[in-house]
A = this chain, B = another copy of it.
Amino acid sequence: MDGEKLIYGFGGGAADGDGSQKELLGGKGANLAEMSRLGIPVPPGFTLTTEVCRRYHEHDGEYPASLGAEMELHLAKLEGFMDQGLGSVERPLLVSVRSGGPISMPGMMDTVLNLGLNDEIVAAQMDDGARRFLLDCYRRLLAMYGDVVLGLSMKDFDAALAGCRERAGGDERDFTIDDAEWLLDEYKAIYERSGDDFPQDPRQQLWGAVGAVFASWNNQRAIDYRRLHDIPASLGTGVNVQAMVFGNQGPDCGTGVAFSRNPANGERRLYGEYLVNAQGEDVVAGTHTPRAIQGENGDPGLAEDFPDAARDLAEICETLEKHFGDMQDVEFTIQHAKLFMLQTRTGKRSGPAAVRTAVDMVHEGLIGRAAAVMRVEPHHVVQLLAPELDPGGRESAPEAGRLLGLGLPAGPGAASGRIAFTAERAEEMAADGPVILVRNETSPEDIVGMNVASGILTTRGGMTSHAAVVARGLGKPCVVGAGSLIVDEHVGLLRSGDRVLQEGELLSIEGSRAEVFEGGIPTYPSEALQVLRSADLEDLPESCEPAAAALIELLSWADELRRLRVRANADTPEDAAVAVALGAEGIGLCRTEHMFFHEERISWVRQMILAPSAAVRAAALAKLLPVQQRDYEGIFRALEGRPVTIRLLDPPLHEFLPRRESALIELAATMGLEAEAVADRVEALVEANPMLGHRGCRLGVTAPEIYEMQVEAIVRAACLMAGSGIRVQPEIMVPLTGTKNEMASLRERIEAVTERVLRQQGSPKIDILVGTMIEVPRAALVADELATVADFFSFGTNDLTQMTFGFSRDDAGAFLPSYIEGGILAADPFATLDRDGVGQLVRMGTERGREVNESLKVGVCGEHGGDGRSIEFFESCGLDYVSCSPYRVPVARLAAARAAVAAR
């Protein structure tokens, strides 16, 4: 291992590493090297590689033997660059220490600034201005070092700072030397009370900070975050040691963060915030209210305070965008009017911004279409299509619609739910319905609670505060900095004027307009969804949101790129029409029983079930036949010749019967039966485990007349359409088969009815496929037998997941949350397909089926058909199509294209 390079330097227009080395240097370190190579002004420094982190953990906190000497070499070079010395009293070198892994992780120890100061250096400073400045730096160092290296409570430091503000009658920029020295003594008192010492030796400080960064890689927060985001622990983190530049050295100094485009809506315009005479932490922490870099309503922003730096920043951002080919999120400091870049990385963005940026960049020639598709994630589209608050609903419920306050639009979309004041309560309450997490500010400890919340509201912080960044990443509606609201998290109160809301009361937020409303407000479809449903690219309304227009274009590219076809699950002609408008290429699952519940029909269904004789049952079925036929006609019409997979009756019959005694008595009266006889029949149909009971094709075997009626209705409807010259592609799907014999005998019966009806109708032959769902594990295991008697398979991954895991979806709420939080399951298997278990059956079923039946069509019609990560897996299995709910169709189109591109 000797001679291996463990530290990479950068600065002065050159660097040891470059931007391609994110695995080794971390994202921050690699991009600092890349910026340095591009000639962008970056304070010099060096990066300890992720390899050091891995060895540190492999060897219980010991560093590689050569690290100390290598660090001294790089320190010496840095001292040379800066003409300063670490620990020098005359020209003290101050450095920052920042973590930075290959993937950004807010769960980790982040930053210690001003490292290198000590009592002696501060005491030696004779100049008042410089002394005041160093005192400010020193007390910041004490607080950050205490917090992140020694684990002291930041609240104690904040309390002391608040005390000093009171003492000074202003904020830290107004502190006198006396104030600053008083505050320093207070900070030191915190150390004394804790029994910890602040190391006076700058080298000791440096090693302490480096060790804290490496150790934080395995703290609980970091582990949780990695689990939540599927980041392997083996990646490790790098550590960046960089010469300090100061934004807090006077009114010609400042610090800020910027996005090269607007991360909320994608507009191509520099977007960000800065503070004059401050250090970076002040912007991110949300403790000061920053100014916009380019303000609204003609506010010149940064250009007014720092004209040169503003021009340089704009140029650098454009250079970086061109160089990296994506929207950048940068941190900068202005020291005595000169701009320094401290970081650049790909900017996190909202759904609308992701779509618009990707499409714009294709038009700007920065990236290609496939890259644009890969850059927009499924949740971005979900967010763009997410419902908005219904202003009608808002007006009609005066109490419920009252505007409580305004904040900053940190995450677009609307959400309505019950208030939770802590992440823990949000987790608990989320099981029973949507929750709005309401906090003064959020921190990495809150990540799990934010993940389950439908929306997030904070009273403090700006657009780049923790809450805002995380919410955008999660695609959650979010309002931050709603300062007119008062939140007491401990007591559990949200106050707006004289109005007080408690935990569990309803609240609504509108993340695009940054509005907070009392009560639950109905939502309405987003503009993007409306545009998508009603128009094409050539015919957009003039007022159309740019992101909505971009989405239509992006989806057309996705359609060109994808291999998987996308169908929808729809049970009515109305749903079918929506699905087609949103791009569905067919219906993958039409659940005929949903038609049974319609007001007028349910009584016939019940008569059919309770019929005391075959004749009565036949009469009830005869009444259902024309109704089902009309339903199918409507769906065939809506599909305009696209394939329609109709599933025969699936649920157990008792689902159609009333439970309440009064309803039973009424039903008995209608049927002219004894109430007791009806109650007995209902009782006899009750099952211990209906999920595993008398349902699906088992009904087809034991009560064939129901399937026969359904098939007759399908074939009649198809004949009628064909007679009117409308093309139809019906596919009859048998649910829940587990053996070849089931499928063979039902197929025979289906074909017999089909032939009879075609003959009766005098209709020419209509091609009707007969296939089966694959939803019991056995079906996948014997797929090679089933495929000899099935024209298609459709994986019912909901039930397949239930039976493969042995999880009842209705009951898993009692333990699934613990499983996911405890890391036993990486994700909810009902949302994202479990590749290791259920996925084996999907792959096995597909392969075995195709081995014996080359023309077998294979699709998926569970919830997973609309989930991006699941679709990626289905692409890898070579499925023919996915089918999902109509409103997920656009998401599935994109996800299918991403999967195809990823598989190239």
Contacts and interface: CB of A to CB of B under 8 A. Distances in A.
A876 interface: no
A592 B365 CA distance: 69
Interface stretch (A630-638, A820-828, A866-874): A820-828
Contacts of A689: 689-692, 808, 810-811
A811 B745 CA distance: 22
A745 B691 contact: no
Contacts of A840: 781
Contact of A692 (B692, B736, B781): B692
Interface string A804-843: 1111101110110011001111000000001011101100
A687 interface: yes
Contact of A825 (B741, B836, B837): B741
Nearest to A778: B837
A841 B778 CA distance: 9
A799 interface: yes
A808, A815, A824: residue with the most chain B Cβ atoms closer than 10 Å: A824
Contacts of A838: 778
Interface stretch (A128-136, A473-481, A693-701, A764-772): A693-701
Contacts of A806: 691-692, 736, 738, 775-778, 799, 803
Nearest to A818: B702
Contacts of A337: none
A742 B736 CA distance: 29
A614 interface: no
Contacts of A834: 778
A688 interface: yes
Contacts of A810: 687-689
A806 B785 CA distance: 18
Contacts of A818: 701-702
B741 A823 contact: yes
A367 interface: no
A891 to B, nearest CB: 27
Interface string A671-696: 00000000000000001111111100
A346 interface: no
A739 B701 CA distance: 35
B824 A745 contact: yes
B745 A692 contact: no
A833 to B, nearest CB: 12
Interface in A327-359: none
A429 to B, nearest CB: 16
Given A818-B702, A841-B781, A693 B738 contact: no
Number of copies: 2
A752 to B, nearest CB: 16
A829 B811 CA distance: 26
Given A701-B815, A778-B838, A781-B837, A739 B824 contact: yes
A782 interface: yes
Nearest to A693: B811
A782 B836 contact: yes
A802 interface: yes
A579 to B, nearest CB: 29
Interface in A720-761: 736, 738-739, 741-742, 745
A617 to B, nearest CB: 17
Contacts of A778: 804-806, 834, 837-838
A810 B687 CA distance: 8
Contacts of A741: 823-825
A691, A742, A818: residue with the most chain B Cβ atoms closer than 10 Å: A691
Given A688-B810, A811-B692, A837 B738 contact: yes
Contacts of A690: 688-689, 808, 811
B825 A803 contact: no
Contact of A803 (B785, B803, B823): B803
Given A745-B822, A777-B803, A778-B838, A808 B693 contact: yes
A832 to B, nearest CB: 15
B824 A804 contact: no
A784 to B, nearest CB: 10
A701 to B, nearest CB: 6
Interface string A448-475: 0000000000000000000000000000
A121 to B, nearest CB: 50
A825 B739 contact: yes
B815 A698 contact: yes
Contacts of A822: 701, 745
Contact of A687 (B694, B777, B808): B808
Given A777-B777, A838-B778, A692 B802 contact: yes
Contacts of A693: 808, 811-812, 814
A515 B119 CA distance: 109
A789 to B, nearest CB: 13
Nearest to A776: B806
Contacts of A812: 692-694
B837 A782 contact: yes
A844 to B, nearest CB: 9
Interface in A698-718: 698, 701-702
10 contacts: A688-B810, A689-B689, A689-B692, A691-B692, A691-B806, A691-B808, A692-B802, A745-B824, A781-B840, A803-B803
Given A738-B837, A781-B841, 10 more contacts: A687-B810, A690-B808, A692-B812, A702-B815, A739-B824, A739-B837, A778-B804, A778-B805, A778-B838, A782-B836
Question: What are the nearest 4 A-B pairs in CB distance?
Answer: A692-B808, A776-B806, A689-B808, A778-B837
